[in-house]
Amino acid sequence: MIGLLGKKIGMTSIFTEDGERIPVTILSVGPCRIVQIKTPDTDGYSAVQLGYEPIKNRKSNKPMRGHFRKAKIDPHRKLKEFRMKEIDENFAVGQVLKVDDVFDEGEIVACTGTSKGKGFQGAMKRHGFKGGPKTHGQSDRQRSPGSIGASSYPSRVIKGMKMPGRMGGKAKTINGLEVVKIMPEDNILLVRGSVAGSKGGYIIVKKSGY
């Protein structure tokens, strides 16, 4: 398997045997259950669909209840499909995958989460602009984005111009994170560095290169 679903718990730091202090993100990864196996013969491509966090039937809509009933497992809150070049013949619908079944300590992974929503923000905060001058006739325009286009030609704002707008709340992937420690009894994965998203947010952990 190339990845699993989980939740972000928070951040802390640990010390190595050499006394080095390492900032780590605590992730609760798995257990995930295989809900569906897709093959080129049946679906046109190879993929494994995983379910995370079982829920009660009444909290799932009718189409999803039928989907899970076909797999003969309880409904899950999150579903994620992992495309693969080849499907392991040992995989079976209903099989449970745990964190230590997929990842090893020292392995490099990529974590995808939904970044914190900041609402509507100005150009300085959203794009890191430094702002205008404080003197030389400047009047209450210190935090403005500056010129956004010429008036004579093309007499319009070019698409893609960095301007104020809604910030955050988007899927963001952090690559090159090292697995520092695995606690299989608690389904805990410690990765070196930060992961996008707030505490309790859902995340996807993949092996590097996929």
Per run of 10 residues, the mean pLDDT along the chain (length 210 residues) is 91 89 92 89 89 81 86 88 85 88 90 94 93 83 88 92 94 93 91 92 89
> Can you give the residue ranges of every domain in the chain?
1-30+99-125+165-210, 32-97
Could you say which DSSP state residue 134 is in? S
CATH topology of domain 32-97: Double Stranded RNA Binding Domain (3.30.160)
What does pTM read for this prediction?
0.81
Instruction: Provide the β-strand partners of residue 189.
Output: 27, 182
Q: What is the pLDDT of residue 9?
A: 94
Residue among 198, 193, 156, 197 at smallest CA distance from 178? 193
Structural tokens at position 142: 């210190």
The three state secondary structure string of 140-184 is: CCCCCCCCCCCCCCCCCCCCCCCCCEEECCCEEEEEEEEEEEEEH
Q: What is the pLDDT of residue 195?
A: 93
Give the number of C-alpha atoms closer than 13 A to the C-alpha of residue 168, restricted to the C-beta side: 12
Q: Among 3.10.310.40, 2.40.30.10, 2.60.40.4070, 3.60.70.12, name the CATH number for the domain at 1-30+99-125+165-210.
A: 2.40.30.10
Nearby residues of 202 by Cβ (< 8 Å), 6 or more positions away: 5, 6, 7, 8, 52, 78, 113, 114
**Distance, C-alpha 4 to centroid of its chain:** 11
